[in-house]
Amino acid sequence: MSMIKIKPALSKGTRDFLPVEVAKRQYIFDTIKNVFRKYGFEPIETPAIERLETLTGKYGEEGDKLLFKILNSGDYLTDVRQLNNTNLDPKEVTPLIAEKGLRYDLTVPLARYVVQHQDKLTFPFKRYHIGPVWRADRPQKGRYQEFYQCDADVIGSSSVFSEAELLCIYRDAFAGLQFNNYEIRINNRKVLSGLAELLNSGELFSALVIAIDKLDKIGLEKVLEELRGRGFEEKQLEVISAFLAVSGSNEAQFEQLEKLLASSEVGLAGLAELRELVEICAAQNLTLVIDTTLARGLDYYTGLIVEVKPTGVAMGSIGGGGRYENLTEIFGGKNMSGVGVSFGIERIYDVMEELGLFPDTLNQSVQVLVVSLLPEVDKFAFEQTQALRQAGVAAEFFTGNIKKQKQFNFATDKNIPFIIEIKAEDKANGLLSVKNLKNKEISQVAAKELCGFFKG
Amino acid sequence: MSMIKIKPALSKGTRDFLPVEVAKRQYIFDTIKNVFRKYGFEPIETPAIERLETLTGKYGEEGDKLLFKILNSGDYLTDVRQLNNTNLDPKEVTPLIAEKGLRYDLTVPLARYVVQHQDKLTFPFKRYHIGPVWRADRPQKGRYQEFYQCDADVIGSSSVFSEAELLCIYRDAFAGLQFNNYEIRINNRKVLSGLAELLNSGELFSALVIAIDKLDKIGLEKVLEELRGRGFEEKQLEVISAFLAVSGSNEAQFEQLEKLLASSEVGLAGLAELRELVEICAAQNLTLVIDTTLARGLDYYTGLIVEVKPTGVAMGSIGGGGRYENLTEIFGGKNMSGVGVSFGIERIYDVMEELGLFPDTLNQSVQVLVVSLLPEVDKFAFEQTQALRQAGVAAEFFTGNIKKQKQFNFATDKNIPFIIEIKAEDKANGLLSVKNLKNKEISQVAAKELCGFFKG
């Protein structure tokens, strides 16, 4: 190793995790995974590194800029030298020096995976994937260049029950995390298409959706103003106003929307799908909130759209997804209907931290600290520790020569609830003093019964 | 999304994992993690992306070449243009266009982590880390550009019991995996230093170790020949021959070595350390094999050296490690003695696959497939499925209109042992036919007792 000293520092926008943070993150992952498993979803993994050919052009122009690109190995400049140009342009140079990149999400790798391995997969293919993705975004509070995504998708099923399953998964996972402050809002892309049909707005459709999506933030007046600026006529704005004024219970909303969209076949189809989903979920005691202003990356979704919003804390959505049709086409796969949801696990972590929802036990990975007070009893003390470990009790071992205060600090820092200090006579009479560090109680336990004391 | 169709392909040297492969890998990880946990080791995580400053110069010149470097964002060519040179040299250009890289192992990130977070850590710091690392190696069978490492280290303890713990962890983890075909070989760097002292060979030390390391492969004669070529004299070669002739039981080896190294203080210290470790482990029924030809990255280790070799299969080591002193110095940390071991989990996977050691249950993630035969019973059938899931039984649901053969194939492909086909009368009389797909037995089960049937 070179001996030049280097200041220890992270690359910007990346994080280290302390043991307790890993335990909390793992608790979220394991809780969600356990629900996925019950619903028949299976885990897959794809590499961090993908060919840039696979990634480029899938996330828009802005997304392409945010892809991390990996420098080719060896003398990667051969082609650049042949340009014989000192005024190099990144657009021209990048394809010559980088053919790999870091994955930007888990969806494009899924599409590649499904087409590449279709002969080995069972359809409907229900997979989940929890893993890091990378984006060269400007780092800021709560936004990282390396962060985790958590997705579940069903590929090759157009059943409404697949949608109901995914919404029940949200409910079960959040219940498992003891997190109840959220609502599941749903819409259907076909309802928005129905509105567009009514308006006969043609290519203004995406402007319409972008404006509607802002309703929450800027209010009705500003939305209408924006639409006016985009070329919508007053008559159209009246229809839009009526659409946005839809409110009340789900049933009340359905009634108003069925009237409004009466002349649109696609609109009514969207409402019928929503109604069936609401009914199936209601039978599972799962309440959904109809929200016709929900849009979410509309280019991509073709049916159901869902978003999970935390209530009572100022934070964006902690989950979302929907139904899509042409995911695998880009890789030459046949058109298979799919539906998927994501858990925003980085935000879920923050919400749970804010609400104090992590179990205290995550702070406590070791049950007992065994301390040998004299070199002569080291081996005896180590054997007691090993016996505990073999019985499944997490235990730490300290040899003598360590100051009492340091032992105590160690136990406190690691939240270890019990300490056993072993003296010369303990080995002789086979009786150990187990001290409970919370209530200071001391129990005399026969060495032979030590495991039972902790397991019982 | 752009509509140019792209052939789905992996970047070379990377892998996708099918669900059953993920399950097998996870089984290995979970088994090892569970042992780490019992021994008081805690998980940490560090980012995939590190500053190149952190990584460069730590793995030798060859290692530097194998680092994956990430292109800077934005107009990353500004500094290159200022060179005003069309004959660009990668050595000069790379530092101007890449300041980040992918981690090459988990050890250098650990050193950075320990120094950076020392105020928040409890020492001795016992951490484990399982995660991917990246190397721009030429891919070949069993060698990937993206692969997993699994390390456990104790930082800030010079106790022989820390060493014993790590060796017991090997034993417990392999026992957990039902893998018994291995041996744990140990040596001590001080024994080799003792030999060097005897030879008074000075700067020829590393040549000596490199040659000894080859004994297994090329045999004694060729080792001596190589050493002769390197400038060792006949008298020295006699001592080396005597050293390499040491054999027999551990006790027999100790006796021979104690005589040979009688005049070397450091050599005797190394033997005493080995002897104590062997003794402590013997009391735990763990047999170690003394192997004085074991060297393993000698520049790095300062005391114990360990290697785990599979027996009965032609494969390199599946684990290794040792004691080191100056890990954190490079990042300005104070000198703390540490000891660590790695599990070669990619190879362990291959060995277990070859020996057929993975439990059959890993192939079977779903317990029962519920099929609705008619749209009228869809909701009833879905409710039965949901009840099973709520009770913790992994279940799949199929709605009608799906061909019998497809249902059966689905159950077969996913190794689902039970199928319940729901007909109109089943809903009416609340009685379900549960078919065991292995023995073709059919049980009539009341809907209310369905969960009990699978849980009991």
Each residue of B137-182: pLDDT tens digit?
999 988 999 999 999 999 999 999 999 999 999 999 999 999 999 9
- pLDDT score of B447 more than 70: yes
Asked whether the bond before B124 is cis by omega within 30 degrees of 0, the reply is yes
- pLDDT score of A355 more than 70: yes
Which residues neighbour A44 within 8 Å (Cβ) at sequence distance 6 or greater? A110, A113, A127, A128, A129, B16, B17, B18, B19, B22
What count of Cα atoms within 13 Å lies in the side-chain half-sphere of residue A131?
23
Quick one: average pLDDT of A86-109? 96
Task: From chain A, pick out residues whose CB is under 8 angstroms from the CB of B330.
Answer: 1-6
Report the residue of chain A nearest B101, measured CA to CA: A70
The residues that bridge with A395 in the sheet, in sequence order, are A368
**Range of weakest confidence among A201-205, B104-108, B193-197, B328-332:** A201-205
3 state DSSP class of B397: strand
What is the pLDDT, as a whole number, of residue B6? 84
What is the pLDDT, as a whole number, of residue B381? 96
Answer for the pair B201, B232: CB distance below 8 angstroms, yes or no: yes
- pLDDT score of A333 more than 60: yes
DSSP conformation letters of B332-347? TPPP--EEEEEE-HHH
- pLDDT score of A375 more than 60: yes
What is the pLDDT, as a whole number, of residue A214? 86
Would you place residue B2 in the very low, low, confident or very high pLDDT band (cuts 50, 70, 90)? very low
Quick one: average pLDDT of B358-368? 93
A87 lies within 8 A of chain B by CB: yes
**Range of weakest confidence among A370-374, B88-92, B207-211:** B207-211
- pLDDT score of A2 more than 70: no
Quick one: average pLDDT of A261-284? 97
Task: From chain A, pick out residues whose CB is under 8 angstroms from the CB of B88.
Answer: 77, 80-81
- pLDDT score of A389 more than 60: yes
Label residue B391 exposed, middle or buried (CB < 10 Å: 0-12, 13-18, 19+): middle
Answer for the pair B49, B101: CB distance below 8 angstroms, yes or no: yes
Two tokens, residue B425: 């009368």
Two tokens, residue B328: 């954190």
Which residues neighbour A10 within 8 Å (Cβ) at sequence distance 6 or greater? A16, B47, B50, B51, B116
Two tokens, residue A430: 């086979």
Question: Mean pLDDT, chain A, as a whole number?
Answer: 93
A84 lies within 8 A of chain B by CB: yes
Distances (CA, A) of B93 to B25, B82, B115, B305: 40, 11, 31, 40
Answer for the pair A308, A183: CB distance below 8 angstroms, yes or no: yes
The CA distance from B259 to B261, in Å, is: 6
Q: Buried b / exposed e across A185-203, counting CB within 10 Å, b at 16+?
A: bbbbbbbbbbbbbbbebee
Q: Which of residues 153-212 of B touch A (CB under 8 A)?
A: 159, 161, 164-165, 168, 172
The CA distance from A50 to A146, in Å, is: 16
- pLDDT score of A401 more than 90: no
Quick one: average pLDDT of B44-52? 98
A4 lies within 8 A of chain B by CB: yes
A281 lies within 8 A of chain B by CB: no
Beta carbons within 10 angstroms of residue A154's beta carbon:
27
**Range of weakest confidence among A92-96, A156-160, A174-178, B409-413:** B409-413
pTM of the model: 0.95
What is the pLDDT, as a whole number, of residue B1? 46
Answer for the pair A15, B47: CB distance below 8 angstroms, yes or no: yes
Answer for the pair A166, A339: CB distance below 8 angstroms, yes or no: yes
Q: Buried b / exposed e across A171-181, counting CB within 10 Å, b at 16+?
A: bbbbeebebee
**Range of weakest confidence among A286-300, B83-97, B234-248:** A286-300
Which residues neighbour A295 within 8 Å (Cβ) at sequence distance 6 or greater? A187, A192, A209, A210, A212, A213, A305
Identity (one letter) of the amino acid at B207? A
What is the pLDDT, as a whole number, of residue A298? 63
| Rg of chain B on CA atoms, in Å | 29
A51:B399 CB<8 A: no
Q: Of how many residues is chain B composed? A: 456
What is the side-by-side order of every strand in the sheet holding B301-310?
B42-43, B125-134, B146-155, B338-343, B319-324, B301-310, B182-188, B289-290
Would you place residue B406 in the very low, low, confident or very high pLDDT band (cuts 50, 70, 90)? confident
ipTM of this complex prediction, to 2 decimal places: 0.95
Q: Among A113, A132, A108, A112, which residue's Cα sits nearest to residue A29?
A: A132
Quick one: average pLDDT of A290-308? 88
3 state DSSP class of A332: coil
Two tokens, residue B267: 């050599």
Asked whether the bond before A124 is cis by omega within 30 degrees of 0, the reply is yes
The CA distance from B17 to A114, in Å, is: 12
Task: From chain B, pick out residues whose CB is under 8 angstroms from the CB of A99.
Answer: 11
What is the pLDDT, as a whole number, of residue A1? 46
Would you place residue A327 in the very low, low, confident or very high pLDDT band (cuts 50, 70, 90)? confident
In chain B, the domains with their CATH numbers are 19-46+107-355 (3.30.930.10), 364-455 (3.40.50.800)
The CA distance from A296 to A189, in Å, is: 10
Two tokens, residue B142: 């069993």
- pLDDT score of A149 more than 70: yes
- CB-CB: which of A75, A90, A100 is closest to B76? A90
Task: From chain A, pick out residues whose CB is under 8 angstroms from the CB of B389.
Answer: 38-39, 168, 172
Percentage above 70 pLDDT, chain A: 98
Beta carbons within 10 angstroms of residue A309's beta carbon:
20
B39:A389 CB<8 A: yes
A366 lies within 8 A of chain B by CB: yes
Mind telling me how many Å the CA of B245 is from chain A's nearest CA? 33
B167 φ/ψ sector (left φ>0, alpha ψ -120 to 50, else beta) = alpha
Which residues neighbour B347 within 8 Å (Cβ) at sequence distance 6 or greater? B142, B310, B315, B316, B318
The CA distance from B193 to B292, in Å, is: 11
What is the pLDDT, as a whole number, of residue B400? 65
Provide the 8-state DSSP code for B98. Answer: -
The CA distance from A40 to B414, in Å, is: 10
What is the pLDDT, as a whole number, of residue A4? 66
- pLDDT score of A382 more than 60: yes
What is the pLDDT, as a whole number, of residue A216? 82
